[in-house]
């Protein structure tokens, strides 16, 4: 499976698996089915009212068409890069430079859907996603974005999981860590892994910076000892408290 490295604003590199073409197509089909189901539901519910007032054309152009047209733009921009189909397949839209997606980025992707998907019957999107290094269709290239697995690796080893069966045999040291986001924990995990792999000044500095930020959020003093053990402990606490 192809992957991509994204540099966060804290200069920490995170590895994401690029979404498979199969997953992207299935997500599109799920969204299509959702739109058809919503349209049929609205027609059935409002049919008598629409027919009685002779508003069939207005009903279609003022309600049904906007839902169909702006569905992907609205869902992705309001739901962190995910439509219902993408949520079901656990994939999402991200910028390849690691920055936060903005509405203009989603808008560019949405505009180029006309060329990538609708006007070409999806052929351009299939060719571009299959052949481009970062699995980008034209809309992805112009918006500097792509689609990745939304849960790329917030996991510890099986041995660690087996050691933390329940809260009864493991007492979390930092209960406040449950308020962190999954993305925060992924950043911590990736920082520790890259430090242990390379152990150079840049990754040591990244480890220190992540530790400092985490301690500020937890409102505790930075550890004087092993920062790696401290951060691994936070990951274990998070798993116990949120799973």
Residue 162 and residue 145 share a domain: no
Beta strand spans in 58-111 (E): 91-95
Give the DSSP H/E element, type plus range, for residue 7. strand 3-7
Domain co-membership, 117 together with 182: no
Give the pLDDT score at 1.
67
Whether residue 48 is found in the same domain as residue 128: yes
Q: How many CA atoms lie within 13 A of 14 on its CB side?
A: 28
Q: Is 16 helix (H, G, I), strand (E, B) or coil?
A: strand
Give the separation between CA 32 and CA 185, rounded to whole angstroms. Answer: 33
Token pair recorded at residue 174? 């930092």
Last residue within a domain, chosen from 90, 120, 149: 149
Identify the pLDDT of residue 57.
Answer: 67
Domain span including residue 120 = 3-149
Asked if residue 113 and residue 7 are part of one domain, the reply reads: yes
Q: Are 109 and 179 within one domain?
A: no
Boundary (domain end) residue, out of 94, 125, 149: 149
What SS3 state is found at 54? Answer: coil
How many structural domains are present in the chain? 2
Whether the per-residue pLDDT at 27 is higher than 90: the answer is yes
Per-residue pLDDT at 161 exceeds 60:
no
Vertex 226: Cα angle to 223 and 232 (nearest 5): 90
Report the percentage of the chain scoring pLDDT > 70: 83
Mean pLDDT of the chain: 84
Total length of the chain: 243
Q: Clarify whether residues 116 and 225 are in a common domain.
A: no
Q: Which of 149, 178, 198 is the last residue of a domain?
A: 149
* Residue with the larger pLDDT of the pair 163 and 53: 53
pLDDT digits (tens, 9 = 90+) for 93-148: 999 988 889 999 999 999 999 999 999 999 999 999 999 999 999 999 999 999 99
pLDDT in the model for residue 194: 83
Model pTM score = 0.62
Sign, Cα dihedral of 154, 151, 213, 12: positive
Residues 180 and 137 in one domain: no
């Amino acid at each position: 499976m192809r992957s991509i490295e994204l540099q966060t604003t804290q200069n920490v590199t995170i590895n994401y698996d690029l979404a498979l073409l199969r997953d992207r197509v299935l997500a599109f089909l799920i969204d299509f089915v959702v739109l058809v189901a919503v349209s049929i539901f609205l027609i059935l519910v409002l049919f008598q009212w629409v027919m009685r007032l002779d508003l069939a054309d207005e009903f279609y152009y003022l309600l049904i068409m906007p839902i169909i047209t702006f569905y992907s733009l609205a869902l992705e921009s309001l739901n962190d890069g995910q439509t219902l189909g993408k949520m079901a397949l656990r994939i999402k839209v991200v910028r390849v430079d690691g920055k936060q997606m903005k509405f203009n980025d989603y808008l560019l992707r949405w505009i180029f859907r006309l060329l990538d998907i609708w006007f070409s019957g999806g052929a351009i999107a299939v060719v571009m996603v299959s052949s481009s290094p970062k699995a980008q269709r034209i809309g992805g290239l112009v918006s500097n974005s792509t689609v990745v697995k939304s849960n790329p690796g917030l996991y510890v080893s099986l041995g660690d999981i087996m050691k933390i069966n329940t809260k009864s045999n493991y007492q979390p040291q930092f209960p406040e860590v449950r308020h962190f986001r999954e993305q925060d924990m992924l950043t911590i995990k990736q920082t520790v892994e890259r430090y242990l792999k390379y152990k150079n000044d840049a990754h040591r500095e990244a480890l220190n910076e992540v530790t400092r930020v985490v301690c500020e959020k937890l409102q505790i003093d930075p550890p004087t000892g092993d920062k790696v053990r401290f951060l691994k402990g936070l990951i274990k606490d998070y798993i116990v408290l949120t799973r």
